Amino acid sequence: MRTDYIDYYLMHMLTDIAAWEKLVRLGIKEWVEKKKANGQIRSIGFSFHGNTEMFLKILDAYDWDFCQIQYNYMDEHTQAGRRGLKAAAERGIPVIIMEPLRGGKLVELLPESARKKISADLRHRTPAELAFRWLWDQPEVTCVLSGMNSLEMVKENVKSASEARAGEFTEEDFSLIASVKEEIHKTMKVGCTGCGYCMPCPKGIDIPAAFRCYNRMYTEQKSSGRHEYLQVTAFQKEMSLPEVCVKCKKCESHCPQHIEIGKELKKAEKALLPWYYKIGVKMIRLFKFW
């Protein structure tokens, strides 16, 4: 690497506490302590793609120097979410944001109706600027990562970061974000809000995650939803696929949206997990020892 030390050493994609416990058994704590003691590593952290409860467990499992989460206005209440962001900040752990634009999807694949609402705003913000300013409005956000492939993107992002201030969002700003999200939600297959009242599932199915990824196939791209679902199924020890649903309907009795969850899960499974994906999941789980 041609460097004497690493400023930020990242353990990539800890999706559940079992993944961390596996690393502990392999001696990661002792290794990190040694590297930090001799100055080769300055800060140790992890990136995360599981749910909020798992994020909180990992936060409390070690004395982290920083963490990295997927967070944007569409993922406010999914993955680590706002709750996880605040929990990390309360513990004094800096939070790095990845996927602030969902891989550019909140710019390139916005429904035309959502794009028009942003264009009609008197402040003339671009979709990217609006998304970034939503993030910078939150004081718990330490750093935002953004993939940029043109000088214009660099200039726009630098301008947004330089001018934005935490707590500056107005009621009009929040209303605009809400209306944009509403337009995106109209393209979804299932009206799941991710509230989590359906959880826990007796069979271990992460119902909100299944519907989130299913919807993402239609609000963005099929590959986006399937890729995320592969992350939240194959890489978690205690994760069950929708196929194990026994139609007990316990979840349906708690759903504020009155979704026929059993019926919709079957559709979600068919879309998210074609046969070749199921083989991939089984192979990954076969060779991932917890």
User: Do residue 173 and residue 211 come from a single domain?
Assistant: no
How confident is the model over 190-205, as pLDDT tens digits?
A: 988 788 889 999 999 9
User: Do residue 15 and residue 115 come from a single domain?
Assistant: yes
User: Do residue 212 and residue 181 come from a single domain?
Assistant: no
Q: Is residue 106 a contact partner of residue 60, using CB atoms and an 8 Å limit?
A: no
Q: Is residue 211 a contact partner of residue 264, using CB atoms and an 8 Å limit?
A: yes
Q: Point out the domain boundary residue: 154, 185, 216.
A: 185
CATH code of the domain in which 27 resides: 3.20.20.100
pLDDT value for 288: 64
User: 14 is in which domain, residue-wise?
Assistant: 6-185
User: How many other CB atoms are found less than 10 A from the CB of residue 163?
Assistant: 11
User: Do residue 48 and residue 159 come from a single domain?
Assistant: yes
User: Do residue 163 and residue 231 come from a single domain?
Assistant: no
Residue 290 pLDDT class (50, 70, 90 cuts) = low
282: closest CA among 223, 233, 221, 245? Answer: 233
The beta strand positions in the chain, using DSSP E, are 6-14, 41-48, 66-70, 95-98, 141-144
Residue 239 pLDDT class (50, 70, 90 cuts) = low
Quick check: is 1 in a domain? no
Quick check: is 197 in a domain? no
Task: Specify the number of domains making up the chain.
Answer: 2
pLDDT value for 267: 95
User: Do residue 74 and residue 218 come from a single domain?
Assistant: no
Mean pLDDT across 26-42? 97
Percent share of the chain, pLDDT over 90? 68
User: Do residue 12 and residue 148 come from a single domain?
Assistant: yes
How confident is the model over 131-174, as pLDDT tens digits?
A: 999 999 999 999 999 999 899 999 999 999 999 999 999 999 99
User: Do residue 160 and residue 245 come from a single domain?
Assistant: no
User: Do residue 264 and residue 172 come from a single domain?
Assistant: no
Look up the pTM and report it.
0.78
User: Do residue 52 and residue 107 come from a single domain?
Assistant: yes
**Helix, strand or coil, per DSSP, at residue 72:** coil
